[in-house]
Amino acid sequence: MHLEDEIYRSAPGINNSTLKLMRLSPAHYINAIENPKKEDTAAFQFGRMVHKVILEPHFNMPYVIRPDGMKFSTKEGREWKERQNLPIISMDEHEAIEAIKNNVLKHKVGSILADSDTKTEVSFFKRETSTGLLLKCRCDAVVMDDSWNVTKILDLKTTEEATASSFTRSCNNFGYARQAAFYGLVTGCWDFTFIAVEKTVAHQVQAFRISQSSTSAALRQIMSDLARIKECLETKVWPGYNEGITELEVLV
């Protein structure tokens, strides 16, 4: 199902990003639900622009380029800036985004993103059987068979370095195994590929698939978290960290 991003975000359902907070505590999770905040760092903004240029090329450019030599400290510069309703980037940033797009689409795996059979920015919803909780996810790109079953999921990631060792650290830091497992749970497709592209000058691309054992371990975590959410909903108790004293072993 293709939905505008804002409609998807406001639609009911547990998504992967919020569910990950259960790893901290149910209190963190319910706070995010009741007090939603959209994190918008420069890195997130750059990643969104790359996604739109590659995955939604039929739309207008998602940013405006700051004219060379324009200073926002001048009257002309301030007036120009006030007229814009899109993110403003430099010519260097525009050229970087174009180079990223070109490198991704000429990559053997990345080129699938431009195939006519590939659907981009597709939203999925599913009622999880054991808990009855509604889940949702928004895939960067999917390939479907003639019966509209998802046969392949592709996810585009911008990163500082697209080596296997560096992307493994990213997987650990950002919970990418959980993302693959969660999307598999919602869509029924377990063929999940990450396409990592460097934001740095070379803009090199490499595709990765997380091992089945890692995805299975992540799925067990997810199911445990969903069961705990169901319990918290029933008891109306959302505990935080351990209220006692936690003993630590530290290096000296």
CA distance 70 to 78: 9
Taking residues 205-209, report their average pLDDT.
98
Q: Is residue 74 part of a domain?
A: no
**pTM of the predicted model, to two decimals?**
0.91
User: Is there a domain that residue 140 lies in?
Assistant: yes
- Per the structure, the count of domains in the chain is 1
**Mean pLDDT across 4-26:** 92
What would the mean pLDDT of 187-197 be, rounded to a whole number? 97
**Rounded mean pLDDT, 211-219:** 97
Could you read off the pLDDT of 119-156 as tens digits, one per residue?
999 999 999 999 999 999 999 999 999 899 999 999 99
The continuous run of DSSP H or E covering 241 comes out as none
Query: Is residue 121 within 8 Å of residue 55, measured between CB atoms?
Result: yes
Flag whether 22 is in a domain. yes
Residue 120 located in a structural domain: yes
CA 180 to chain centre: 11
Mean pLDDT of the chain: 94
- Tell whether the model's pLDDT for residue 160 goes beyond 70: yes
CA dihedral sign of residues 16, 18, 21, 27: negative
pLDDT at 228: 98
Per-residue pLDDT, averaged over 202-227, amounts to 97
pLDDT of residue 43 exceeding 80, the answer is yes
User: What's the pLDDT band for 199 if we cut at 50, 70, 90?
Assistant: very high
Segment 21-44 shows an average pLDDT of 90
Query: pLDDT at residue 161 above 70?
Result: yes
Per-residue tokens: 47: 């990643």
Instruction: Report the pLDDT averaged over residues 158-187.
Output: 97
Query: What is the C-alpha separation between 116 and 69, in angstroms, rounded?
Result: 40
Q: Is the pLDDT of residue 186 over 90?
A: yes
Res. 1 pLDDT band, cuts 50 70 90:
low
For the cut 90, the answer to whether the pLDDT of residue 2 exceeds it is no
Whether residue 39 is predicted with pLDDT greater than 80 in this model: the reply is no
Question: Is 123 contained in some domain?
Answer: yes
pLDDT at 211 over 90: yes
Is residue 23 one of the residues assigned to a domain?
yes
pLDDT of residue 210: 97
**Domain membership flag for residue 57:** no
Closest to 59 measured CA to CA, from 144, 121, 133? 121
Q: Nearest to residue 120, comparing CAs of 159, 158, 150?
A: 150
SS3 content of the chain, % helix, strand, coil (to 5): 45, 20, 35
Please give the residue range of the domain that contains residue 122: 5-39+107-235
Calpha distance 238→88 (Å, rounded): 41
pLDDT of residue 217 exceeding 80: yes
**What percent of the chain is modeled with pLDDT above 70?**
99
* Per-residue pLDDT, 115: 93
CATH of the domain at 129: 3.90.320.10
Please report whether residue 148 resides in a domain: yes
